[in-house]
Amino acid sequence: MPDKAPWITYRPQLKVLDCTVRDGGLMNNHRFSDDFVRACYQTCIEAGMDYMEIGYKNSPKQFPREQFGDWKFSDEDDIRRIVGDHDPVKTGLKLAVMADAGKSDWTQQIIPKADSVLSMIRVACYVQQIPEAVDMLHHAHEMGYETSVNIMAISIAQEVEIDQALEVLAQTPAQVVVIVDSFGALYREQIDNLYRKYAKAIEGTGKEIGIHAHNNLQLAFANTIEAIILGCNRADCTMDGLGRGAGNCPTELLLGFLRNPKFKLRPVINLLQEYVHPLHKDVDWGPNVAYNLTGKYNRHPRAAMQWRDGKQKDDFLSFYDQIISDV
Amino acid sequence: MPDKAPWITYRPQLKVLDCTVRDGGLMNNHRFSDDFVRACYQTCIEAGMDYMEIGYKNSPKQFPREQFGDWKFSDEDDIRRIVGDHDPVKTGLKLAVMADAGKSDWTQQIIPKADSVLSMIRVACYVQQIPEAVDMLHHAHEMGYETSVNIMAISIAQEVEIDQALEVLAQTPAQVVVIVDSFGALYREQIDNLYRKYAKAIEGTGKEIGIHAHNNLQLAFANTIEAIILGCNRADCTMDGLGRGAGNCPTELLLGFLRNPKFKLRPVINLLQEYVHPLHKDVDWGPNVAYNLTGKYNRHPRAAMQWRDGKQKDDFLSFYDQIISDV
């Protein structure tokens, strides 16, 4: 390889999506104050983010409204309460929501784009749910949205399943296919392996590959960089890494790394200071030994989250002994 | 690249050095209790570590003994108080100390190996101090020790200086040349660049390349993995990342990653639980926004450490404004 410094420049087509409210909401049942969500929104605009994912479109039939905050459902009126008649052109920011296969009344919840401030629907599914994901992608596309598909928990999917899923997804209208390391279990070489697989599958379709990493092994930022180096043009991140369990790739680290001068770090630091750091009092996210272990053993972070909710939350040795006996 | 999983196996020649007491001591003037150091030592043995760096050989003339703990000087008697007549063969663990160019009375402090429980002297220097480092390496080698050389703060050295330094060091008896990212400023591609440079310089000498990473950008573990993938056979780490500023590559993550069955994770988790986590009450290490910023701007962590010692320690926005005005 030549003794050059390609990292000194940037790819204009690389787009960043902040999913603080959507992924972080998994830690507090999406009960964020309007102030918090509005501050995130303003920060995304000021920081030059390309997308902000404001929540889920999950079914109120499955998830009783009284048990969750508005961002579990992201109704148009609730979004507009925060963003008004959001203008993606003037602000430079597009709004997105995530709809889960199996958890969304998507035929009702995804309304025509003409009536919405949203630009993108991100369809999330497990590898077992590809058929519903395909239907959802077609529906969202027909409603007029940009679409993205996130196959979750990719670290426990079988290779042949991934290959087959990608073959099917390559034929959908999804503009983006995201590598999702829900368990924060993937090391660098595994990211490479998956990237090559995704790249081969979508070759010639014009689709982009995205990366959504979790921080169980303190590798969320590193794996995001790795995917970007390989050619990913969509990267997910959250403010202070706020997200499920060990959290996500921190927006402040990712923006600090990217060289595109449109990205501004100061508004993000300001948000951390005023809104996100204070949340640590009530919401317990970020890497620790319990998440290290679920990551290492390629397990759902659920066990570690339950542990952190209990009385023994700092007894990591007992957690180790438990997870080892489960393995 | 073939669709294979090379990470499933391991390189027997890859050796791990725990430098918790040496690097962590930079956060508490090396005032560790004997209990703490003994627990680290026992843990290193039980965990299958190859080396434990127990402290510095720094000059008591420059660093008054009353201001520092014993591990700033690591006199033979003090080491033996902890490890007795340590046997590297029986325990599988070799003991090391670090001697800094410009800060060590190395002609007196490095005694003949026959009279010491130490196996290795690690010489640390800035790129400006290569001549003294060379003398130190020769002395330590003649005294009978394995030797390693750590060019510190490599992220602010000029390329031509690094090349010249490596050319000189290639001719010394040092068995190991370590890539040292003191400022935690290096991203993946920069690690690659340096690794190639080091590898080329030592080609044919039989020397090994080491990696010593700091966690300012949450990349210490990732950069250590990267260097290992490229061919580094010596990796530094510390328990819970205990080390200067943002800390080091955490031993628990590194051992979790390595596939050599000789490495055992449970003793490390036990040490974290009993000895290292409780230290957070008094010692402030680990990544935060201030260290992110010194890393991003390739600055010594000193500014962030001083900030963390002051009243505004959590006012990261002011720190951002200060560092930006200094840049």
Predicted local distance difference test score (pLDDT) of residue B34: 98
To the nearest whole number, what is the mean pLDDT of chain A?
96
User: What pLDDT shows up at residue A127?
Assistant: 96
Helix axes B220-230, A188-202, angle to 10 degrees: 80
* Percent of chain B whose predicted confidence (pLDDT) is above 70: 99
Rounded to the nearest integer, the mean pLDDT of chain B is 96
Q: Where are the alpha helices (DSSP H) in A48-187?
A: 76-83, 88-91, 106-109, 130-142, 159-169
Query: What would the pLDDT profile of A119-143 be if each residue is shown by its tens digit?
Result: 999 999 999 999 999 999 999 999 9
How far off is chain A from B245, nearest CA to CA, in Å? Answer: 17
Residues B174-230 have pLDDT tens digits of 999 999 999 999 999 999 999 999 999 999 999 999 999 999 999 999 999 999 999
pLDDT score, position B324: 87
Scanning B127-187, the segments in alpha helix (DSSP H) are: 130-142, 159-169
Q: Given B1, B229, B257, which is nearest A196 (Cβ)? A: B1
Confidence of residue A4 (pLDDT cuts 50, 70, 90): confident
Q: Is the pLDDT of residue A157 over 60?
A: yes
The DSSP letter of residue B175 is: S
Helix, strand, coil proportions of chain B in percent (round to 5)? 50, 15, 35
CB–CB of A162/A177 below 8 Å?
A: no
CB contact under 8 A, A320 and B269: yes
Average pLDDT on A197-209 reads: 97
Least CB-CB distance to A292: which of B6, B226, B253? B253
Residues in chain A with CB shorter than 8 Å from the CB of B315 are 273
* B152 CA: distance to closest CA in chain A (Å): 21
| CA atoms B56, B59, B63, B67: torsion sign | positive
Q: Report chain B residues whose CB lies below 8 A from the CB of A215.
A: 218
Residue B3's pLDDT is 64
Distance from CA of B34 to the nearest CA of A (A): 23
List the single residue in B189, B277, B292 with the smallest CB-CB distance to A229: B189
Task: Give the nearest chain A residue to B2 (CA atoms).
Answer: A193
Query: Taking CB atoms and an 8 Å limit, are A1 and B314 in contact across chains?
Result: no
User: How far lies A79's CA from each of A48, A98, B43, B113, in Å?
Assistant: 20, 13, 53, 71
* End-to-end alpha carbon distance in chain B: 41
**B2: pLDDT strictly greater than 60:** no
Give yes or no for residue B130 having a pLDDT over 80. yes
Residue A296 CA, distance from chain mean position? 20
Ranges of beta strands (E only) in A245-290 are none
Q: Is the CB of B193 less than 8 angstroms away from the CB of A5? A: yes
Q: Is the Cβ pair A218, B222 closer than 8 Å?
A: yes
CB atoms under 10 Å from CB of B165, counted, come to 24
CB spacing of B188 vs A226 below 8 angstroms: yes
**B326: confidence class by pLDDT, cuts 50, 70, 90:** confident
Classify residue A34 as exposed, middle or buried by CB count within 10 Å of its CB (0-12, 13-18, 19+): exposed
CATH of B10-281 given 3.10.105.10, 3.40.1260.10, 3.20.20.70, 3.40.50.300: 3.20.20.70
For residue B137, what are its two tokens? Answer: 């390496």
Residue B192 to residue A1, Cβ atoms within 8 A: yes
What is the pLDDT at residue A3? 64
Residue in A with minimal Cα distance to B3: A193
Whole-structure pTM value? 0.96
Q: Give the span between the Cα atoms of B204 and A155, in whole angstroms.
A: 40
- Chain centre to alpha carbon of residue B253: 16
Q: What is the pLDDT of residue B6?
A: 83
Residue A215 has pLDDT above 60, yes or no: yes
Select from A257, A265, A315 the Cβ nearest to the Cβ of B187: A257
* Domain coordinates in residue numbering, chain B: 10-281, 289-326
- Min Cα separation B135/chain A (Å): 31
Q: Which CATH architecture has domain A11-281?
A: Alpha-Beta Barrel (3.20)
Give the number of beta-carbon pairs within 8 Å between A and B. Answer: 118
Inform me whether the pLDDT recorded for A190 exceeds 60. Answer: yes
pLDDT surpasses 90 at A325: no
Measured in degrees and rounded to the nearest 5, phi and psi for residue A56 equal -100, 155
Spatial neighbors of A128 by CB under 8 A, at least 6 apart, are: none
Using an 8 Å CB-CB cutoff, list chain B residues near A223.
222
Are A124 and A100 within 8 A, CB to CB?
yes
Q: Among A78, A67, A81, which Cα is nearest to A31's? A: A67
CB-CB neighbors (< 8 A) of B316 in chain A: 269, 272-273, 277
Q: Is the pLDDT confidence value at B1 over 80?
A: no
Q: Is the pLDDT of residue A326 over 80?
A: no
**CB-based contact A117:A146 (threshold 8 Å):** no
Provide the pLDDT for residue B4. Answer: 81
A54 pLDDT higher than 80: yes
Contact B189 A6 (CB under 8 A): yes
Assign B44 a pLDDT band (cuts: 50, 70, 90): very high
Token pair recorded at residue A224: 């995001």
Chain B partners within 8 Å of A316 (Cβ): 269, 272-273, 277
Amino acid identity of residue B5, one-letter, is A
The string of DSSP codes covering B18-37 is: E-HHHHHGGGTTT---HHHH
Q: What is the mean pLDDT of residues A231-252?
A: 98
Phi, psi of B206 (to 5 degrees): 80, 0
Q: What is the pLDDT of residues B196-211, one digit of tens each?
A: 999 999 999 999 999 9
Query: Among B43, B215, B317, which would you mutate to test the A interface (most chain A Cβ atoms within 10 Å of its Cβ)?
Result: B317
pLDDT at A283 over 70: yes
Taking contacts as CB-CB distances below 8 angstroms, the residues of chain B near A5 are 189, 193
Per-residue pLDDT band for B289 (boundaries 50, 70, 90) equals very high
Say what the pLDDT of residue B121 is: 98
* Nearest of B317, B274, B325 to residue B38 by alpha carbon: B274
Tell whether the model's pLDDT for residue A1 goes beyond 70: no
Gap between the Cα atoms of B269 and B219, Å rounded = 21
- The overall longest dimension of chain A from CA atoms, in Å, is 59
Q: Of B183, B214, B219, which to mutate for an interface test with A (greatest number of A Cβ within 10 Å)? A: B219
* Whether B196 and A3 lie within 8 Å, measured CB to CB: yes
Cβ neighbors of B2 (< 8 A, separation 6 or more) are: none
Whether B129 contacts B156, CB under 8 Å: no
Q: Say if residue B292's pLDDT is above 60.
A: yes
Q: Which residues pair with B181 in a beta bridge?
A: B213
Indicate yes or no: CB of A6 within 8 angstroms of CB of B218. no
Cross-strand pairs, A98? A56, A122
Range from A33-37, A93-97, A312-316, B289-293 carrying the lowest mean pLDDT: A312-316
DSSP helix, strand, coil percent of chain A (3-state; round to 5): 50, 15, 35
Model pLDDT, residue B271:
98
